[in-house]
């Protein structure tokens, strides 16, 4: 059974591909703008193309009849949030629309969609459930809400599930594992430890315990396992209930402030992280933490601790350097 993974050469995508390809035939579809081929296992087919191109998608599905698609391709690496969603719209909204249309033409009826906790906005101190009203506070979240809406409009005609990822950290045990992206918090922490400049903690006056933003950090290997489980659920021949299973949180369920994460990274690395406080980043919520009730009922819950995730990321960072 062949599954196509869009964005499969990215940091999260590579972890998903390595795990998924142990049980299924996998084809990676990636424009390689941020993805890297050296992250991928050698036996996996790679097609270079973009979800913004209907022709690329039709060629893909014509060449590789597929049971389903894991859609991870998205624009999310802008150093600062633009003032509107136009920066993200072609990849994150038009790309979803193009993909679902191409799947329909090709008769591919299963879609596992990489959504985001950004769809929730600022949730206060409550752990957020999937039925929480979607009120994103930044343009990236707006485009993810729109992507979910496009997919859900197909109803029972498309067996789909949105995985609302929280803050993904950590690494696996392979050379592809390091997250070297320009906007992730842990890469910025590690750069401060090894190269400089000092870390800038964005926001010191949030209504939280230590003034820094509170997030839910989840190990990338737990995220990859969630995608594998999602593929299993979508492949189950029993009737699918899109209303009950339209989205599920993928997080740790633990409250961790930015300063907490900085301290954990310092302990793991055996050195104090040099940092200074800076202004809040526009569009950042004070606190967003997952309620994992639905995830655990669907066997999508996490297994790893945050310390394990940070330690794996640090070791991978050192090997990558």
Residues annotated catalytic, as ranges: 140
* Cα(89)–Cα(96) distance, integer angstroms: 10
- Provide the pairing of β-strand 275-278 with 199-202: parallel
Structure tokens at 282: 């526009």
Asked if 202 and 278 count as a contact pair (C-beta separation under 8 A), the reply is yes
Single out the residue of 140, 138, 146 nearest to residue 122, CA to CA: 138
């Amino acid at each position: 059974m062949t599954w196509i993974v869009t964005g499969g050469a990215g940091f999260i995508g590579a972890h998903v591909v390595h795990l998924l390809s142990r049980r299924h035939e996998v084809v990676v579809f990636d424009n390689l703008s941020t993805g890297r081929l050296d992250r991928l296992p050698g036996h996996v087919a790679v097609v270079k193309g973009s979800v913004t191109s209907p022709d690329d998608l039709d060629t893909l599905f014509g060449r590789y009849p597929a049971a389903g698609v894991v859609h991870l391709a998205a624009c999310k690496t802008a150093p600062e949030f633009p003032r509107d969603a136009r920066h993200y719209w072609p990849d994150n909204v038009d790309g979803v629309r193009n993909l679902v249309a191409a799947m329909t033409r090709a008769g591919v009826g299963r879609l596992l969609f990489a959504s985001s906790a950004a769809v929730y906005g600022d949730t206060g101190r409550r752990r957020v459930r999937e039925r929480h009203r979607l009120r994103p506070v930044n343009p990236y979240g707006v485009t993810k809400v729109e992507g979910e809406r496009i997919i859900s409009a197909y109803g029972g005609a498309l067996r789909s599930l949105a995985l609302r990822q929280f803050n993904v950290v950590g690494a696996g045990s392979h050379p592809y594992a390091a997250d070297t992206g320009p906007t992730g918090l842990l890469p910025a922490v590690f750069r401060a430890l090894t190269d400089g400049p000092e870390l800038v903690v964005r926001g010191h006056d949030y209504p939280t315990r230590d003034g820094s933003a509170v997030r839910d950090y989840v190990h990338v290997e737990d995220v990859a396992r969630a995608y594998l489980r999602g593929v299993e659920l979508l492949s189950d021949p029993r009737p699918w209930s899109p209303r009950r299973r339209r989205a599920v949180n993928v997080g740790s369920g633990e409250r961790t402030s930015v300063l907490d994460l900085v301290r954990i990274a310092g302990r793991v690395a055996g050195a104090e992280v040099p940092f200074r406080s800076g202004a809040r980043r526009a569009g950042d919520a004070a606190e967003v933490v997952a309620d994992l009730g639905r995830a655990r009922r669907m066997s999508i819950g996490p297994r790893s601790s945050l310390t394990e995730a940070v330690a794996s990321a640090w070791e991978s960072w050192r090997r990558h350097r």
